[in-house]
């Protein structure tokens, strides 16, 4: 068998995933194979090539020149990328190889094979030797992918991808794992030493410059960038956001006495002075509208004139061994409290479970229809943190709540007429006719809803529970103290007005004042006060099925009403309270009956109507 050695360009071509294609659909696999074979035969004939081997999914070919091999590869690959697509990869290397009658041998063959295995479908990889031969041919473009160490090849090889239009040119990072990227360790060490020397010089120069230039640059940044940003935030917002406060803190580090900054501080912050009994309590705060933010430390009591952002905040006053005070409001809203400069901290376990201390306050009634009843002094009292739950109300029932007359100490009215307790109890039944809230069945609450607020109850049932719990229903004044309706836009946004159902007590992020959860939405809350009409009581805050503005509305219902959103929470008066009897009296609600108003004349109406017309731009 004769052998001869000669310089040749060796080309490997391989269909990627051919075995899997064959297993999935043999006919398609054969069509792809035939498409490749036919095109190779055409290009070999055109470029003087020789087909040495053709297996099921690939071919080994030789050419007398690198240019002919590359041109044949380009034509083949471009056709393979047309439908039906043949996922073909090609590798080409030029070297001395040994031919016999049926095969070809040598390192050149091995390198061409390695190049093909590194390629991706639609690409052609060639060695630097091939590039040397084709670099002057403008119809062939190449892109270097870097040097690689190939398996069983002693010297690193620089690999190029043919980058003619239509061909795939992968990033070299996509080749990791197929070959090891070559790193010139000697050159790298020299470069590293040079870099370290240069960095050392730069560091010395930078440190010197930093000591002199950096403070000046930071002052310039504060004046030229931070102050304008703060001013813009003040101009663009009704209440400057906390981001403006943070920018002012940053500017203060460099220009604390700047007159512009001093003026802006008054726009973006308020000062708070606070003492607690006992002292050494920590004040923490964060944006009310972002309950998942991290808490930020403000100071330890007693403190004076601590700056806080102007927006509505969540605050916590913490001291080990004492019940944490949750507060919602602004720094300025503390000033409305009579004892804001000496907040009482209660030892853990000293208050009834889930009740919080509400400081004394002179309360305006920011509730539609009740505005004229405001400016009442409300002494300090305890209030339920959450609405009364199904589980808690079940405890009242299990204690004989509907059968023990001592819990029912109010005259019961229906349609303005007093009725007997027996007649009323016959109406206070659940869906199955047993005693209990209207939303219950078989004398109990729905499965899994033990922590949902109890609803579907009348005022009389709520009042009976309050007697059982040794508490009482809040007056509209106590409720107004806790509700903080002046900050409706913040509280309502995080409360339950979903129109679907109640949610577990305390599960919504919205709370008011001293940590009173769900006072807006979820369940309407019965209050103690009557109107002038017998048997008609206030129920405030709105429920899950009410519009959001119900939080601000004065609302009356017959005390017998057992709507699905009717619920309640309780308060507990503290020793020495002398105002409760006055606050429990009937309260009138302002109401304007527009059906009895005298209409204005047409001329006057037209004047008013024009106020609502859009003026066209000239």
Q: pLDDT per residue over 249-292, tens digit each?
A: 999 999 999 999 999 999 999 999 999 999 999 999 999 999 99
Identify whether residues 396 and 338 lie together within a single domain: no
**206 located within any domain:** no
Q: What is the pLDDT of residues 535-588, one digit of tens each?
A: 999 999 999 999 999 999 999 999 999 999 999 999 999 999 999 999 999 999
pLDDT at residue 339 above 70?
no
Residue 193 lies in a domain: no
The SS3 assignment for 456 reads coil
3-state secondary structure of 452: coil
Q: In this predicted model, what pLDDT tens digit does every residue of 488-545 receive, in sequence order? A: 999 999 999 999 999 999 999 999 989 999 999 999 999 999 998 899 999 999 999 9
CA 153 remoteness from chain centre? 54
Tokens 């070919």 sit at which residue?
Answer: 61
Residue where a domain stops, chosen among 165, 183, 201: 183
Instruction: Give the start-end residues of each E strand in 65-201.
Output: 88-99, 104-105, 124-127, 142-149, 157-162, 180-181
Same-domain check for residues 523 and 573: yes
User: Which is nearest to 382 in space by CA: 518, 527, 573?
Assistant: 573
Q: How confident is the model at residue 616 (pLDDT cuts 50, 70, 90)?
A: very low
Is 158 found in the same domain as 61?
yes
Lowest mean per-residue pLDDT among 112-116, 189-193, 358-362, 429-433: 189-193
517 vs 373, more confident:
517
User: What's the length of the chain?
Assistant: 618
For position 100, which CATH number holds? Answer: 3.30.70.1230
- Tell me how far apart the alpha carbons of residues 1 and 31 are, in angstroms, rounded to a whole number: 36
- My answer on whether 408 and 545 are in the same domain is yes
Q: Give which of 518, 521, 512 is closest to 543, Cα–Cα.
A: 521
Count of CB atoms situated within 10 Å of the CB of 372: 11
What average pLDDT does the segment 18-29 reach?
87
In a domain, 28, yes or no: yes
531 and 373 in contact (C-beta within 8 Å)?
no
Cα 354 to Cα 383, 417, 462, 519: the distances in Å are 8, 37, 18, 15
Query: In this structure, what CATH number is given to the domain that contains residue 340?
Result: 2.60.40
pLDDT at position 332 over 90: no
In a domain, 423, yes or no: yes
pLDDT of residue 338: 57
- Give the Cα-Cα-Cα angle 131, 137, 139 (nearest 5 degrees): 105
Q: Do 376 and 325 share a domain, yes or no? A: no
Residue 131 pLDDT: 92
pLDDT for the residue numbered 210:
63
Reported in sequence order, the residue ranges of 319-470 that DSSP labels E, i.e. its strands, are 325-329, 343-344, 355-358, 361-363, 376-378, 381-384, 412-414, 417-419
Least confident segment among 259-263, 348-352, 483-487, 595-599 = 595-599
DSSP state of 122: T
Spatial distance between the Cα atoms of 319 and 366, rounded to a whole number of angstroms: 33
pTM for the whole structure: 0.64
323 and 366 belong to one structural domain: no
Q: Are residues 42 and 104 in the same domain?
A: yes
Task: Judge whether residue 69 has pLDDT over 70.
Answer: yes
Task: Please report whether residue 36 resides in a domain.
Answer: yes
Please indicate, yes or no, whether residues 276 and 408 belong to a single structural domain of this protein. Answer: no
pLDDT higher than 60, residue 230: yes
Same domain for 370 and 336: no
What end-to-end distance do the CA atoms of the chain give, in Å?
A: 100
Contact predicate 322/347, CB 8 Å: yes
Report the CATH number at residue 516: 3.90.1580
- Looking at 253-360, which runs of residues are DSSP E strands? 269-274, 276-277, 282-287, 296-300, 303-309, 313-318, 325-329, 343-344, 355-358
* Same domain? 330 vs 377: no
Among 280, 314, 349, where does a domain finish?
349
Last residue of a domain, one of 183, 199, 231: 183
Parent domain of 13:
4-183
Whether 17 is in a domain gets the answer yes
What mean pLDDT, rounded, does the chain reach? 90
**Cα dist. 534→44, 365, 418, 525, 555 in Å?**
107, 23, 9, 19, 15
The encoded tokens of residue 551 equal: 């939080």
Name residue, tokens 């007056």: 475
**Claim to verify: residue 591 and residue 454 sit in the same structural domain:** yes
Beta strands in 386-492 (DSSP E): 412-414, 417-419
SS3 of 368, please? strand
Q: Are residues 454 and 334 part of one domain?
A: no
Range name among 139-153, 156-170, 230-244 with the lowest pLDDT average: 139-153
Among 343, 337, 386, 345, which residue's Cα sits nearest to residue 361?
337
Domain presence at residue 246: no
Q: Is residue 257 part of a domain?
A: no
* Counted domains in the chain: 3
Please check the confidence at residue 212 and state whether its pLDDT lies above 70: no
């Amino acid at each position: 068998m004769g052998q001869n050695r000669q310089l040749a360009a060796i080309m490997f071509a391989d269909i990627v995933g051919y075995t899997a294609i064959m297993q999935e659909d043999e006919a398609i696999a054969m069509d792809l194979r035939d498409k490749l074979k036919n095109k190779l035969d055409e290009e070999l004939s055109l470029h003087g090539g020789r087909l040495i081997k053709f297996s099921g999914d690939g071919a080994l070919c030789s050419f007398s020149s690198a240019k002919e091999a590359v041109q044949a590869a380009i034509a083949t690959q471009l056709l393979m990328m047309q439908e039906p697509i043949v996922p073909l990869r090609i590798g080409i290397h030029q070297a001395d190889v040994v031919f016999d009658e049926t095969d070809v041998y040598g390192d050149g063959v091995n390198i061409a094979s390695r190049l093909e295995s590194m390629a991706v479908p639609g690409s052609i990889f060639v060695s630097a030797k091939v590039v040397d031969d084709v670099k002057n041919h403008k119809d062939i473009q190449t892109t270097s992918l870097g040097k690689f160490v190939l398996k069983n090849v002693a010297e690193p090889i620089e690999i190029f991808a043919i980058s003619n239009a239509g061909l795939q040119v992968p990033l070299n990072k996509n080749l990791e794992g197929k070959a090891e990227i070559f790193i010139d360790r000697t050159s790298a060490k020299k470069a590293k030493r040079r870099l370290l020397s240069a960095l050392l010089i730069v560091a010395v120069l930078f440190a010197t410059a930093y000591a002199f230039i950096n403070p000046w640059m930071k002052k310039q940044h504060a004046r030229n960038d931070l102050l304008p940003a703060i001013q813009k935030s003040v101009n663009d917002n009704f209440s400057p956001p906390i981001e403006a406060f943070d920018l002012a803190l940053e500017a203060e580090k460099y220009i604390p006495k700047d007159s512009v900054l001093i003026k802006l501080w008054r726009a973006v912050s308020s000062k708070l002075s606070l003492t607690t009994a006992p002292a050494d309590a920590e004040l923490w705060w964060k944006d009310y509208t972002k309950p998942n933010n991290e808490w930020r430390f403000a100071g330890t009591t007693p403190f004076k004139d601590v700056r806080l952002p102007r927006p509505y905040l969540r605050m916590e006053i913490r001291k080990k061994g004492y019940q944490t005070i949750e507060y919602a409001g602004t720094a300025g809203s503390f000033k409305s409290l009579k004892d804001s400069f000496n907040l009482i901290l209660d030892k853990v376990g000293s208050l009834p479970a889930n009740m919080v201390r509400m400081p004394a306050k002179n309360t305006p009634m920011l509730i539609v229809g009740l505005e004229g009843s405001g400016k009442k002094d409300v002494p300090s009292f305890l209030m339920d943190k959450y609405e009364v739950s199904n589980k808690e109300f079940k405890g009242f029932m299990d204690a004989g709540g509907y059968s023990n007359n001592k819990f029912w100490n109010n005259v019961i009215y229906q349609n303005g007429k007093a009725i007997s307790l027996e007649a009323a109890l016959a109406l206070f039944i659940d869906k199955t006719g047993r005693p209990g809230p209207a939303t219950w069945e078989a004398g109990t609450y729905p499965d899994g809803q033990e922590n949902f607020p109890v609803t579907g109850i009348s005022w009389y049932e709520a009042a009976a529970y309050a007697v059982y719990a040794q508490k009482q229903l809040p007056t509209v004044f106590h409720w107004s103290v806790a509700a903080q309706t002046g900050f409706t836009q913040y509280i309502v946004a995080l409360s339950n007005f979903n129109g679907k159902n109640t949610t577990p007590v305390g599960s919504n992020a919205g709370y008011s004042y001293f940590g009173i959860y769900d006072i807006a939405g979820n369940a309407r809350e019965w209050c103690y006060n009557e109107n002038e009409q017998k048997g008609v009581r206030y129920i405030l805050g709105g429920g899950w099925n009410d519009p959001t503005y119900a939080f601000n509305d004065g609302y009356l219902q017959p005390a017998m009403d057992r709507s699905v959103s009717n619920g309640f929470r309780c308060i507990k008066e503290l020793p020495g309270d002398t105002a409760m009897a006055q606050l429990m009296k009937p309260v009138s609600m302002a109401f304007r009956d527009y059906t009895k108003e005298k209409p204005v004349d047409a001329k006057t109406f037209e004047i008013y109507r024009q106020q609502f017309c859009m003026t066209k731009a000239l």
